[in-house]
Amino acid sequence: MTFVSLSRTRRSHPRAVILGTGSELPAQVVTNAALEKLVDTSDEWITTRTGIKERRILEEGKGNADMAYRASVRALKDAGLEAKDVEAIIMGTVTPDYPFPSSACVLEDMLGVRKAFSFDVNAACCGFLNALAIADSFIRTGRIRTALVVGSDALSRLLNWKDRGTCILFGDGAGAVVLGASHDGAHGILSTRLRTDGSYVKTLYVPAGGSLKPASLESVKRNEHTIAMNGKEVFKVAVRSMEEISREALDEAEVKVDEVSLVIPHQANLRIITALAGRLKVPMTKVMVNVDRYGNTSAASVPVALDEARREGRIRPGDIVLLNAFGAGFAWGAAVIRF
Ligand code: UT7
């Protein structure tokens, strides 16, 4: 008796489906040639070591929520929904407009959303996947039926433009996804997996500006409000971790890697992407790449690439797509979605 009612409840649980996507990249393009004038680097070094040719930088006077707003309006239009339909806004970001309140609340106000709950998630480059997994859980449990999930970052605001090891890597952007609830059982988010390892906090971080070391004249002079990174270590752990978590997400979804139509990895470095594809044994023709045009846009990277892939016709109904990301924390994750 108990078994029957439990299984009925489980079957009636909705699944989160992607109803629409949108993205926004700032207009200002910074090429490798422009960076050659700032630091001792070359287009040849940046291209061969990272695959990046150019990135976008958010204009002065604008904040993270401005990009998120544009991406969200496009995603809502694509979904055929209005802002008033949104029940939750969850934004992955490490560059909110203010230390508090959240950029999700700033976005909520810009959109005119009034009956929702909104918050930011700090998981660096993995922020969108964390936000997606949280929204998926709210929808699966029936707590909400629609969510706006955003990944938006302006890492240009955290760069030391004299540090050639970091300033060449990052760019700004925003991507948004509108999730709805579906009972058809076939489509939607099949699995999400998240992981962190806090022993790597100082391998990739911003040393000052938090409660431990608030802003001071000294911290500004020492450039402690900009990204400090051991790139080699990040590279090594990123490839291994994204492979592992992708396999876990595929197992949980009961999907074989050959059944995946498109992999949309975090766009940090073309060498990381190709190494990951090699380990997963996925041909590069099935891997979405736009790191050449935008660099690493942190939490925006996966939703921007997802939106581009959809607009380029690379995702058709029934296709299975694997998302994965890795970033500071270290935090990493993966999701499997059937469209
Ligand atoms: O979302 C996660 C965010 N972070 C990442 O994804 C970073 C992952 N790591 C990477 O992408 C790579 O480690 C980097 C692109 C950051 C660096 O590439 P690498 O092949 O690991 O180079 P390296 O750090 O071992 O440096 C090799 C050389 C060094 O010179 P020496 O010591 O061999 O003389 C660096 O000083 O390249 C030098 N170098 C540069 N040269 C020209 C470092 N940055 C530059 C540069 N231009 N921009």
**Ligand 1 atom nearest residue 325's Cα:** 1
Sketch out the chain's domains with CATH numbers: 9-184 (3.40.47.10), 189-338 (3.40.47.10)
Gap between the Cα atoms of 96 and 286, Å rounded: 33
CA nearest to 149, candidates 174, 122, 128 = 128
CA–centroid distance, 200 to ligand 1, in Å, is 18
Euclidean distance between CA atoms 228 and 333, whole angstroms:
22
Q: Which atom of ligand 1 is nearest to the CA of 166?
A: 16
Amino acid occupying residue 149 = V
Counting atoms of ligand 1 from 1, which one is nearest the CA of 271? Answer: 11
Q: How many residues in total does the chain contain?
A: 339
Q: Measured in angstroms, how far is the CA atom of residue 36 from the centroid of ligand 1?
A: 15
In ligand 1, which atom is closest to the CA atom of 272? Answer: 11
The residue contributing the CA closest to ligand 1 atom 43 is 165
Query: Which residue, by CA, sits nearest to atom 29 of ligand 1?
Result: 165
Q: What is the pLDDT of residue 111?
A: 98
Nearest atom of ligand 1 to the alpha carbon of 35: 48
Model confidence, pTM: 0.95
Residues that are catalytic: 125, 266, 296
User: Does the beta carbon of 168 lie inside 6 Å of ligand 1?
Assistant: yes
Give, for all 339 residues of the chain, the pLDDT tens digit.
334 334 444 456 899 999 999 999 999 999 999 999 999 999 999 999 999 999 999 999 999 999 999 999 999 999 999 999 999 999 999 999 999 999 999 999 999 999 999 999 999 999 999 999 999 999 999 999 999 999 999 999 999 999 999 999 999 999 999 999 999 888 999 999 999 999 999 999 999 999 999 999 999 999 999 999 999 999 999 999 999 999 999 999 999 999 999 999 999 999 999 999 999 999 999 999 999 999 999 999 999 999 999 999 999 999 999 999 999 999 999 999 999
Which of 37, 40, 46, 49 to mutate to test ligand 1, by most ligand atoms within 8 A of the CB atom? 49
For residue 45 and ligand 1, the question of a CB distance below 6 A is answered with: yes
CA–centroid distance, 233 to ligand 1, in Å, is: 11
Query: Is residue 228 in contact with ligand 1, taking CB distance under 6 Å?
Result: no
Q: How far is the CA of 248 from the centre of ligand 1 (A)?
A: 30
User: Which are the contacts of 276, defined by CB distance < 8 A and separation ≥ 6?
Assistant: 239, 242, 243, 246, 265, 324
How far, in Å, CA of 117 to CA of 95, rounded? 20
**Residue 125 beta carbon below 6 angstroms from any ligand 1 atom:** yes
What are 106's two structure tokens? 């700033």
pLDDT of residue 8: 41
pLDDT of residue 9: 44
| Residue of 94, 79, 98, 101 lying closest to 147 (CA atoms) | 79
3-state SS track over 43-111: HHHHHHHHCCCEEEECCCCCCHHHHHHHHHHHHHHHHCCCHHHCCEEEEECCCCCCCCCCHHHHHHHHH
3-state secondary structure of 240: helix
Ligand 1 contacts CB of residue 165 (under 6 A): yes
Asked if residue 53 lies in contact with residue 30, where contact means CB atoms within 8 angstroms, the answer is: no
Q: What is the pLDDT of residue 291?
A: 98
pLDDT at 11: 54
Q: Whose CA is nearest to atom 14 of ligand 1?
A: 231
Helix/strand/coil percent split, the chain, to 5: 40, 25, 35
